Structure 1
Amino acid sequence: MTTDARALVPLPRSGPATAAGTRFRLHRAGIQNVWQYDEQEFAFGDGRLLLRGKNGAGKSKALEMLLPYLLDGDSRALDATGTGRTTLAWLMLDGFEQTNRLGYLWVEFRGTTDGGDHRHLTLGAAIRASRSTQKALPTFFVTPLRVGEDLHLVEGGKPLPVDRLKEIVGSDNITDRAVMHRSRVAPELFGITDATRYRNLTQLLHRLRRPTVGDRIEHGGLASLLSETLPGLDEDVVEKVARNLHDLDAVRDELGRLERTDTALRTFLTSYRGYLSGVLRTSAQAVSRELEVLAQRRRAAGDAAQRTSELRTQEEESEARLETLREEEEAARTDLAALHDSHAYRSLHELSEHRSTVEAVHTAAGAAFTALSNAHGAEEGAAERLADGVEHLGSRLAELGTEHRELLTQAEMAGLPTGHLGEAVALPRTVRSQTVETQLTAPDGETHTVQQRSVVRVDTATVQDGLGSWQLRPGHALPDGPTLASALRPAPQPGCGVTAEQVERLLTTIALAPAAETAAHDAVYHDGSWRLGILSGRHHKADA
């Protein structure tokens, strides 16, 4: 048979816990495979435990098995009524058919160190029962290990063997004797070194847990109960308490004075509290404003710190980049020096010089081609002017020939001598060169066709000599114009064929002949010199 664990419910704390200093307080307790409990754990609230449940649920049995049994190990005092009906053998074997049975009882205390940390102390007993002997023997242990965390009392679905318990908690922390168990619990849990005093304490606990303790309190037996269980007071303590009793009147007067002072202070504080509230409100507002300013400055400082961090990162990146660029510059300088010393660079330098020379030659060729083009244009113009001059000279000589023939005819018709008129002058021409077309390539690669006209040479000396023969020869001088005109104006001979108008025209022509001769001579001379200059220039151009 097992007890429903839901029947025993610890009540929660109703209020805040009081300060407990550093002493131990009940924290947890548990029953493992003892009586009708398979496995039950109880949690204490600030050292207190309240069990609720129906009658027969096992509340009293749970307390009998745990406290104060685990404090003194006295199995004879398990029964709270003092009748001795509850024994370990009965708890372990009643209602069970097992030959041997092992169970555990344990309680955990928790204290606080000076540093504020928790410390724990676990008191427990392993109960081994044998049906053949009808006995149950306890093995007590005291350890700082915590059940369920550092110490597990169930192993493989069965209670932990005692031998394994000794290995875990240590053989020095385990004993089969109750007196040795009490000698460990008294100093470690309560700080009591007097065995008699600790024995009186446990006896008081046994008496206080009896069901009839309430009756004794109601009948005034509490004082005698405490006298029976607690040790007597020291005489010095009694004397000190008596002296304090004599001073009660003075204490009462002092208490009254303090109460009046308290009333006055309360009245004063009621008014002063409003003043302080205003001052505090003003101070709080000022503090609030300062806090806002502080928050703004902290944000600004945070932003500045972040900006500083970013700038430092950028600076580091820039320094790294600068170092890399310096290394690259050094490598580039080394490569440049090696390039300058290389044969390819020298060849490139020579190529650059050749390119400059070629460019200069190209420029000179362009200038020469331009000059050649200009010279050819000038030559074409000169040739055209020469051709025009030769044509003009030929036309003029033809006109002179015609006039010469007319003069001869008129002179013959007039009966004048014709010897002084000389012979008609022809224009002797000689072709020096034929028309030639030449293909020229410009510096830009474009091909130009240059056409040179045929050149005709005029023998100007022969023309001059012929014209000079027209001058009047010595001994054949004619009378001057007016005289000759007067001689010829009389009535002409009929049938001579020369009219007066013809005579006048002949005379005019004869008068103008020297001027015409001079003009023809100048024209021939000018045209010949110009032609010679052109030819000389062309030869110079060709040489260039």
Structure 2
Amino acid sequence: MTEIHDAPLPLRPRWQPLRLGLVDLFYYDDEEIWLRDGNLLLRGNNGTGKSKILAVTLPFLLDGQLIPSRVEPDGDPGKRMEWNLLLGGQYQERLGYVWMEFGRDREGTPEFCTLGCGMRAVAGRGAPERWFFITPQRVRRDLRLVDGNGRALSRDRLLEALGDRGELHTSSAQYRARVDERLFRLGPQRFEALLNLLIQLRQPQLSKRPDEKALSSALTEALPPLDQAVLNDVADAFRNLEEERNTLDGLNEARASVGEFLQHYRGYCVVAARRRAQAVRQAQSVWERIGGELRETAQSLTEAEAARRHEETRQEFLDRKLGQGRTQLQTLRDSPEMRDANRLEEAASRAAERRRFCQTLQDKLERLVADANRQEARLAEDRQSCAQESEKRVRELDVWLEPARIAGIARAHEAALDPLGLPDGGPDPRSGSDPAIGRAAEAVQSEVRRRKEAIARLRGLIRALEEAERQETRDRERRERAVEAMERLDQDRAQAAEAVEQEGAALVSALRHALETHRELRLDDPESLLAELGDWCASLSGDNPAGRALLRSYDAARDALRSAREAAVRARTEARAAVAALE
């Protein structure tokens, strides 16, 4: 159960009902009903509980008796109070409350009086146990009839809750006497007559089935008894009727004279009343203007609070996003890729050097392969032509020596030629009878195969270097993506900080505009508050200082308006009294 807000307040000097409520009674769990100017209008289909609310509130809370003829509007003796608690067997035991709050305006100070009845019914035990309470406390603010678990308070717990600010009765007679003393002060007989009159007037469809004698008797009993002094005055008036007649004639003549005088004096009174009421009208206009400004101020305050909550929610979202960005940035900075960034750059430079070196080796290898192919072709041609002439072989050997030197096999070439000792005009090589030539050819072929194997190993190294270059490219791309992500996070963080700064400036500007526009918002030091609000927007630590200051200013303006309204009401009342006296 929550506390009451904007509950009706008394506006008359006489007691009038303000609120009523039911707790765990009939089909109501915890129901509260407000009255307007002391009046209550219940509308609904049959069976919705309109008559039940009347049965358990008035005049039951004034009478305190559970007799069905006095509780039920139709006086049906079969409708008993325990049924309202147990609901015909739905509950085996149930405890409930019914209460009504009265109030009056006592010289500008509201005064309250709450009447209530607690009842506890158990299946099979007949009439429920009941107790009554009277207290100036207000239910749901000063007094709670339901505990934190939603259960109605027992009689002992209610007595503890009332303390010294209320009274508890178990006797309906004592309770009825205390209600009369607290609210009506009519006396036992007149109060009993008032209750009987309420019971008669509460009957359903009274206009269709009127009982003139019972209604007349109830109204007669409800009238206050005549004072003996009044009766003596009436008897004396009958005895002095002739004298009174003469006096009446004189008074009629005086009345005619006074009427002629009033015909002229009434115009004067109208002008004088208007002049005296001018201050009241001006106060009423001021009160209406201040009321309108206060409503506009309250609306602006509500909009400012909504904007503040929206900005706080957005700020929390930006803070979370900024925190996530910082975490990702720190993670990227601490990642192995970022720690190995320098090593990747060194590896890239070394890879570039190796790539240039491999390119050089590859060029040399291509030249060597081309030379080896040319050597094989030339060797075959030499084998065919060496038998023809020795000089041609020598020239060809000289020609071969340079490619062998370029291919790096010059020593092997010379070692293969030295054993030959080819003289001028030696035997024909096509005969194949010279074993030294065969051995030289085999040595050259062996050297060629060794060079081809070295070329194959060099090509494998080149492929490994290319794979290392591709891996280095992938690492460089990952590092660039990480750097781009880090830059985006920095941009998001800067944008979030800029957004916070802009929203803070907008909030300060809105508050400054509200302070300059709404004259009812009076602050002792608005510039200090604006500076404090700016600091708060920068740090966002603690509560919003503007909210507390505006609430204090709102409370002060509301109190001032209430005082002005009360003064205007008193002035209007005095003016009306003065006008009535003049008329």
Q: TM-score, normalised by structure 1?
A: 0.41
Structure showing greater relative contact order (alpha-carbon pairs closer than 8 Å, 6 or more residues apart): 2
| Larger Rg over CA atoms | 1
Bigger share in strand: 1
